[in-house]
A and B are shown apart, each in its own frame.
Chain A
Amino acid sequence: RKEVEQDPGPFNVPEGATVAFNCTYSNSASQSFFWYRQDCRKEPKLLMSVYSSGNEDGRFTAQLNRASQYISLLIRDSKLSDSATYLCVVRNQGGKLIFGQGTELSVKP
């Protein structure tokens, strides 16, 4: 079983739609959590950290459920520019970042 698992997608949604990505992790001792975004043929970039109480950044909302070892990302009012691959990332107790395979999002006009 992979340490971080995501639905690979692709998710094809129209502009303005709300889309949610889910992620599960296997190591209960994981310390911190992130969502990274990777555009086609580009490097990954941090989108947002995920805090236990949940956090929001504009149209993006991240939530963490430590009991279920589950992380989510919600994108509201999706834009064409949101098209990318979204990587769920977990930092383990050794300090390493473990990346999920990524979920591909395609926002259509």
Chain B
Amino acid sequence: DAGVIQSPRHEVTEMGQEVTLRCKPISGHNSLFWYRQTMMRGLELLIYFNNNVPIDDSGMPEDRFSAKMPNASFSTLKIQPSEPRDSAVYFCASGWEGTGDRNEQFFGPGTRLTVL
């Protein structure tokens, strides 16, 4: 299995530009999570999907952030317009959510975003 795939691995953009991050979860997993990691705030959950449906987006910082999961094998996180304080590593993770499971999450390699 290829694991969780994220693209791009690195993104450098200018303030005000739109940024789209992509994720392909592990085949067979029914849950997908978007996290953001910074030195100051650590690892924070932004949003998660179960069976392609957004379950909890309370971690999405502002309306500038949006996420979609059009099918079981693809998700995007979009920032429009981007700001320098959005600079962080964005991780996508997938897992199997079910009764009695230990619910391990498998993380992708992350996208390192720098907004100038």
Binding site for B on A (CB under 8 A): 32, 34, 42-46, 49, 87, 91, 94-102
Contact = CB atoms under 8 A, between A and B. Distances in A.
9 contacts: A32-B103, A43-B91, A45-B107, A49-B102, A96-B48, A97-B45, A99-B44, A100-B42, A101-B42
A97 B97 CA distance: 12
Contact of B45 (A44, A46, A96, A100): A96
Secondary structure call for the B interface:
strand
Interface string B82-99: 000000000100000100
B34 to A, nearest CB: 12
A56 B87 CA distance: 38
A35 to B, nearest CB: 12
B43 A87 contact: yes
A98 B108 CA distance: 18
A94 B55 CA distance: 10
Given A44-B91, A45-B107, A98-B45, 14 more contacts: A32-B102, A34-B104, A43-B109, A44-B107, A46-B105, A49-B104, A91-B103, A95-B97, A97-B45, A97-B105, A99-B42, A99-B43, A99-B44, A101-B42
A96 B55 CA distance: 10
A96 B43 contact: no
B25 interface: no
By CB atoms of chain B within 10 A, which of A87, A99, A102 has the most? A99
B56 interface: yes
